[in-house]
Amino acid sequence: MVFSSSNRVSPSLYSPYLTYQMSLNFSERENATTLPTTPLCSLEGNATAADELTPGEVAVLSLGFGLLWLVSILGNALVCLVIHRSRRTQSTTNYFVVSMACADLLLSLGWAPFILLQVASGRWPLSAAACKAVRYLQHLCPGVQVYVLLSISVDRFYTILYPLSFKVSREKAKKMIAASWLFDAAFVSPCFFFYGSTDSTHCDFFFLPDSWGGLSY
């Protein structure tokens, strides 16, 4: 303990005065009334009453989702049919367009109907494995479209910059499309290992730390 000329205690950690003051502060905190805290978000997956949709909202969502689903299927199917029937439209660029249309069709057929069914019925009617597959397609198809757009950009870049020395043939375009699908299929494969449904009635996916142990083993 350090004393000054006025016999006042200087602010030292080992001062009994400060120790006494700290003990008083801690006792006041212990005696203070604690307010209940509510977490901002929970990963338990339990739906509250505020999260439930009314029958009118379910009908509107189902109608809008169904219309978008039909338009997507018809539009992308027509794109594939027109390019397949016409020889003049079978260029390298249109090969990429067909690949993107196929990704849209796969998303419309393998993901949208099941999500529409969940919205309409209010629960996930299929198994957990089907839920994983649906979520896998949900991540796969948009990624494939991104990589195909990247391939189109590479094709246009070399076609404009080197029009005589470099040309993307149909075989090269097919290889680029296949590489886009294979790379993204491997890239989104962790969906099968690191994600899982919260319960048997909802196809909601969250990160599961427990899955690391089984995979590392």
Task: Summarize pLDDT for 76-88 with one digit per residue, the tens.
Answer: 999 999 988 887 8
* 205: pLDDT strictly greater than 80: no
Cα–Cα distance list, 38 to 41, 66, 78, 194 (Å): 9, 38, 52, 28
Between vectors from CA 34 to CA 32 and to CA 39, what angle results, nearest 5°? 160
Rounded Cα gap, residues 174 and 168, in angstroms: 10
Quick check: 43 pLDDT over 50? no
pLDDT at position 177 is 93
> What structural domains and CATH numbers belong to the chain?
54-200 (1.20.1070.10)
pLDDT, tens only, 98-126 = 999 999 999 988 888 887 887 777 777 77
Cβ atoms of 53 and 61 closer than 8 Å: yes
Give pTM, 2 decimals. Answer: 0.64
Give the C-alpha separation, 183 to 102, whole Å: 16
Q: What percent of the chain has pLDDT over 70?
A: 65
Q: pLDDT higher for 17 or 112?
A: 112
Give the H/E segment covering residue 206. Answer: strand 205-207
Mean per-residue pLDDT for 171-200? Answer: 83
pLDDT, position 29: 47
Contact residues for 16 (Cβ-Cβ < 8 A; gap 6+)? 1, 9
Q: Evaluate if residue 173 carries a pLDDT over 60.
A: yes
In this predicted structure, the answer to whether residue 179 has a pLDDT above a threshold of 80 is yes
Specify the pLDDT at position 166.
Answer: 78
Evaluate if residue 5 carries a pLDDT over 60.
no
pLDDT of 188 strictly over 60: yes
